[in-house]
Amino acid sequence: MSVHFYDVGQALSALVILPDGRRILVDAGESPKRCGKPCELANDHLITELRKDLGDRPIDLLWITHQHSDHLGGVPEVAGSFHVLAYADNGFDLDKKGVAKAREAVADAKIAVIAPDHAALPIASGAPVTITAVLPAQWPAKCESHANDCSIGLRIDYCRSSVLFVGDAEAREEAALEVTPVTLLQVGHHGSHTSSTEPFLAKLRPRYAVISSGKPGEAMNATFCHPRAATVASLSRALGGAATQTVRAFGGQSCKDEGAESWRDVPTPATLFSTARDGDIRLVTHGNGEFIRAGM
């Protein structure tokens, strides 16, 4: 099984290729129109890399974690460029412009739309792979007005290896999720201080983690300043191991008011990856509980 995290700037898109060849794309990156040239280039990169990874195979499932532009903004381009068999989102905010545009593109491409629940998924599990929607028993109060806490997680287990996508789930949703230890974690909310709480990481006990975010001060990340230094430090402690590298992270209090001097290099183990530093990240596992970065 391989997991390819694409370098899409301040956004998220990752392709999972299952051992039987089926493809699951989790999120579709940012709209190419959102931030001018940087967003155009990020979307072009995603489409180019997807063509390489998909070949003549379809996307069996396009899974949108939540209804924010940096996760679903690229849906029209993906739906218009590739054969997609099924589309899943949380069903919220259907009247919002970006969500409506994504759903319209999916409808135009005649893609089946499914809002997942605990009982059903639009893609079947089958030994040795188990695919599970990770949702709270009840959504956090008013999550419709705070879309991050309406994120629909996705977990894929392959023998002793597993990957968990949590979208932008923040502390309230993390506390509501029933989770068990996982091998590879997609770090919530691009490494923000609002996610990856200590209790959540203690339950997950990840061995590997990937932060998908923009570079410091670049395009949309100039207003978000992801990842945050305290979060990177927490992740590093959770992963364990020697600190053999660093991740550039924001150590200040206010992204709006503080400049480049508030960014610093945080020591991390080699098992913490960052698209801002590493570019595209393709991790491969043979089901033995270990992930190896391909192409290195």
Confidence of residue 187 (pLDDT cuts 50, 70, 90): very high
- 241's tokens: 């191991």
Q: Which residue has the tokens 């290729």?
A: 17
Handedness of CA 209, 214, 220, 224 (dihedral sign): positive
Indicate if the pLDDT at residue 142 is higher than 80. Answer: no
225-240 per-residue burial string, b: 16 or more CB within 10 A, e: under 16: bbbbbebbbbbbebbe
Nearest residue to 165 via CA among 174, 173, 175, 156: 156
Distance CA(158)–CA(81), nearest Å, equals 29
Q: Identify the pLDDT of residue 191.
A: 97
Distance of CA 13 to the CA centre of its chain: 6
* The amino acid at 244: T
Q: Can you tell me the mean pLDDT for 128-153? A: 89
Average pLDDT, the chain: 94
Q: Can you tell me the mean pLDDT for 256-282? A: 93
Residue 75: give the domain boundaries.
Answer: 2-293
**Among 140-149, 238-247, 274-283, where is mean pLDDT lowest?**
140-149
**What is the full DSSP assignment across the chain?**
-EEEE---SSS--EEEE-TTS-EEEE-----TTSSSHHHHHHHHHHHHHHHHHHTT--BSEEE--SS-HHHHTTHHHHHHHS-B-EEE-----TTSHHHHHHHHHHHHTT-EEE---SS--SS--BTTEEEEEE--SSPPTTGGGSGGGG--EEEEEETTEEEEE-TT--HHHHHH------SEEE-GGGG-TTSS-HHHHHHH--SEEEE--PPTTSGGGGTT-PSBHHHHHHHHHHH-S---EEEEEE-SS-TTT--GGGEEEEEE-TTEEEHHHH-SEEEE--SSS--EETT-
Distance CA(6)–CA(54), nearest Å, equals 14
Q: Can you tell me the mean pLDDT for 95-106? A: 97
Confidence of residue 296 (pLDDT cuts 50, 70, 90): low
Q: Identify the pLDDT of residue 196.
A: 98
* Highest-confidence segment of 125-129, 168-172, 259-263: 168-172
pLDDT in tens, 52-91: 999 999 999 999 999 999 999 999 999 999 999 999 999 9
Q: Identify the pLDDT of residue 251.
A: 94
Q: What domain count does the chain have?
A: 1
CATH number of the domain where residue 39 is located: 3.60.15.10
Confidence of residue 259 (pLDDT cuts 50, 70, 90): confident
Indicate if the pLDDT at residue 121 is higher than 80. Answer: no
CB 72 within 8 A of CB 98: yes
Confidence of residue 145 (pLDDT cuts 50, 70, 90): confident
Indicate if the pLDDT at residue 118 is higher than 60. Answer: no
pLDDT in tens, 9-57: 999 999 999 999 999 999 999 999 999 999 999 999 999 999 999 999 9
As a residue count, the chain comes to 296
